[in-house]
Structure 1
Amino acid sequence: MKSYSTDLNANNSPHTHSNPRKVFLIALILILLTIIHLCIHSSNPPLPFKKIRISSTVYRNIEFEKKCDIFTGKWVPNPKGPYYTNTSCNLIIDQQNCMKFGRPDTEFMKWRWKPDECELPIFNPLQFLELVRGKSMAFVGDSVGRNQMQSLLCLLASVTYPEDISYKYTSNTDYFKRWFYADYEFTIAALWSPFLVEASDADTNGHSLNSLMNLYLDKADEAWVREVESFDYVIISAGHWFFRPLIYYEKNQVIGCHNCNIQNMTALPKYYGYRMAFRTAFRTLRRLKKYKGITFLRTFSPSHFENGDWNKGGNCVRTRPFTSQEMKLDGYIMEFYLTQVEELKAAEKQGKRKGLKFGLLDTTEIMLLRPDGHPSNYGHSLHQNMTLTDCVHWCLPGPIDTWNEFLLDTMLKNEKDDVN
């Protein structure tokens, strides 16, 4: 550096004194241009750099929401066990109280649903109760729908217990239930209607577990229609009753039957009656003048009878879930599932004209994998002090609690969509 400096200073040409000034000015101009450039670009960055301003958390959330299908996944071990027990929740009826009646294994309670692309949030009872403050929710359908309601009651029991106000509305308090959470002014109801449409006994010997019945496919059952108009949320479901012998009516005329063994009567598949029942139920909700609620379809819940039918010695004694490789959604279960989902999609499209929302609780495939979750021989009849083999309903606690995790997650997403 010393020799270079000496050589430079020793230069005695005419430009000796002007060069340093030029260098200084050029350097100053470059510095100023750089500062100006940085100022301009920091205050108004070009479009490609705006993405950098999104935090990684927000970005992950955006991607998370796009990918998250909570209904596609697998059951994974959950050593923590269930949210509640049959001793911590005294609202479990004997029909689903498997532990009370001696079920020896507990592993069926130690599994949790894991979506493929995201996490299913745990059920937060306080969050649920705040969400439904001042509102009402009805489970419309058969006893499996009531099973879901009982699960929800137990999930909320860690925060508060409701008052049973069923007697104020009906004398049939086994099938039509109402619970009121005073602290949150929230009502839960079970409106029992196994066919969703009007039905009556057709067997001259009276009603039995497999007796012939009339089904009026174009008339919604008044048992729920006259009650449902004021509810904010309606979870609608039906299934297993459609397997029994049925005579189908439309416009008060017989159009055929399913499994009725009546000569000269047109045979129609059970899927026809199933489709028309949901079509009528959804149409009725759309046409109710004061109904402004959100309707959720909870899809068909598979049974798991093995070694015989329900009335021929069948049982369900497995103690672990199936994997998706062991059990596929097909056959009559797939037909029932597709039938009701198709009707839901049509109702959703038509409901938009009135501003009504229709949503999906897609429980069929996930429950197909849970043959271990039924009471089997560890439940009691609803009306008699006797054990029965039940591979239709679900133990409490058990995999049915996942339905209400789905319910809360779906309700929260609806609230978010309304805000946005």
Structure 2
Amino acid sequence: MFVSLFCTLKRVPGEVKKWRPAGADRGFTFLKYNLTIAYHRTNLLARYGRWSANANGGELESLGYKEGFRVDVDVPEGTWAEALHFHSILIFNTGHWWWAPSKFDPVKSPMLFFEKGRPVIPPIPPHAGLDLVLKHMILYVEKEAKPGTIKFFRTQSPRHFEGGDWDQGGSCPRSNPLSSEEVEKLFAIENNGTNVETRLVNQHLHKALKGSHFHILDVTQLSEFRADAHPAAAGGKKHDDCMHWCLPGVTDTWNDILVALLNGIETSRSRF
């Protein structure tokens, strides 16, 4: 989405300079318009890192845990924590990593959640940890963002692996969009397929965002049809890339939706 947005804005006359706000992975400033866009990479929104058992023991050690990943549910990851004091429009998303056994093996390297510096006991599964992270991060953004900041949470970008996950020989060879029936077969929660996290995470997002001042940037449903829009075998990887999107393509439409929402928000504000 960020690359698509940059390419769209780059068509406007004027000098563009590479410049990254604190914590950003990449960023650009359009000097004529005093406009900066930046991408702040974060996998879980919350701070996380490797955890190993203490030789002196502890609450997790007493339960048999030897190693894993510590996730501080109430501490934002440093890559974006300061972005709230700079940007006037914020777009958040998280999801894929929460259902990623290749990243967080539930046995060998589980996610271990901490709150107020102490482990959550009894330990909770990733989906419950996601709820805690969303609760704390939404509160943090609501409190720390500049007055008047427009806040979005983007729904899940669907993957289209068929025949297994990315590391199990899964592929996305389709050359046409899916039918409604094919979409349901691939993404319905009750089917518990390879790409099930798309709708599962969205359920958690919608629940967490109720009562907040976030706008929902819903890109999921329209994107679920586009199994034909991934790099697939052309992605230059050892496996099919059925997660990222080709450009031009689907993410351009996401930005069209974003612009429409921004126009609607601006119109609404101008009435008061």
TM-score norm. by structure 2 comes to 0.80
The aligned counterpart of 2:112 is 247
Q: What residue is the counterpart of 2:268 in the other structure?
A: 417
Cα distance, 1:289 vs structure 2:
6.4
In structure 2, the CA distance between the partners of 1:199 and 1:404, relative to structure 1 (3 Å rule), is: same
Deviation at 1:337, TM superposition (A): 0.8
Indicate whether 1:151 and 2:4 are aligned.
yes
1:278 deviation in Å?
A: 1.9
Q: Alignment partner of 2:40: what SS?
A: strand
- Shift of the alpha carbon at 1:392? 1.4
Instruction: Indicate which of 202, 209, 231 corresponds to 1:375.
Output: 231
Partner Cα distance (1:192, 1:177) in 2: 9
Q: 1:316 to 1:289 in 2, by over 3 A?
A: closer
**Deviation (angstroms), 1:316:** 1.2
Task: Determine the structure 2 residue equivalent to 1:360.
Answer: 216
CA–CA distance in structure 1, aligned partners of residues 180 and 218 of structure 2: 16
2:19 alignment counterpart: 165
Could you give the per-residue CA deviations for residues 187-211 of structure 1, whole angstroms, max 9, x where no partner exists?
A: 001111111101102379xxxxxx9
SS of 1:234 mapped into structure 2? strand
For structure 1, the residue ranges without an aligned partner over 5 or more in a row are 1-147, 205-210, 257-264, 349-357, 381-385
Report deviation, 1:402: 0.9
Partner of 2:243: 392
**2:79 alignment partner in structure 1:** 223
CA distance in 2, matches of 1:342, 1:158: 38
- Match for residue 401 of structure 1 among 248, 252, 255: 252
CA contact (8 A) 2:167 2:239 kept: no
Q: Which has the larger radius of gyration?
A: 1
Q: TM-score, normalised by structure 1?
A: 0.53
Aligned to 2:58: none
Give the distance between the partners of 1:289 and 1:318, measured in 2 at CA. 42
Pick from 175, 200, 208: which aligns with 1:335? 200
Correspondence for 1:233: 89
1:221 and 1:363 map into 2 onto residues whose CA distance is 24
User: Identity rate of aligned residues, in percent?
Assistant: 27
1:111-139 deviations in whole A, cap 9, x for unaligned?
xxxxxxxxxxxxxxxxxxxxxxxxxxxxx
Q: Residue type of the partner of 1:197?
A: A
Relative to structure 1, is the Cα distance of residues 400 and 335 closer, same or farther in structure 2, using a 3 angstrom cutoff? same
Structure 2 residue runs of 5 or longer lacking an equivalent are 54-66, 105-110, 190-195
Structure 1 residue 182 corresponds to structure 2 residue 31: yes
> Could you say which residue in structure 2 is the equivalent of 1:195?
44
1:303 and 2:154 correspond: no
Which amino acid in the other structure matches residue 338 of structure 1?
Answer: Q
Question: Displacement of 1:162 after TM fit?
Answer: 2.6
How large is the RMSD of aligned CA atoms in angstroms?
Answer: 2.3
SS in 2 for 1:218: strand
Partner of 1:322: 178
Shift of 1:387: 5.0
Counterpart Cα distance in 2 of 1:283 and 1:191: 19
Alignment of 1:47-62 (within 5 A): none
Flag the 1:229–1:197 CA change in 2: closer, same or farther, 3 A: same
SS of residue in 2 equivalent to 1:158: coil
Other-structure match for 2:57:
none
1:212 Cα deviation after fit: 4.3
Number of residue pairs matched by the alignment: 239
Encode CA deviations 1:55-74: one digit per residue, 9 max, x unaligned: xxxxxxxxxxxxxxxxxxxx
User: Which amino acid is 1:242 matched to?
Assistant: W
How far off is 1:359 after superposition?
A: 0.8
Q: Which amino acid aligns with 1:150?
A: V
Aligned-partner Cα distance in 1 for 2:163–2:181: 21
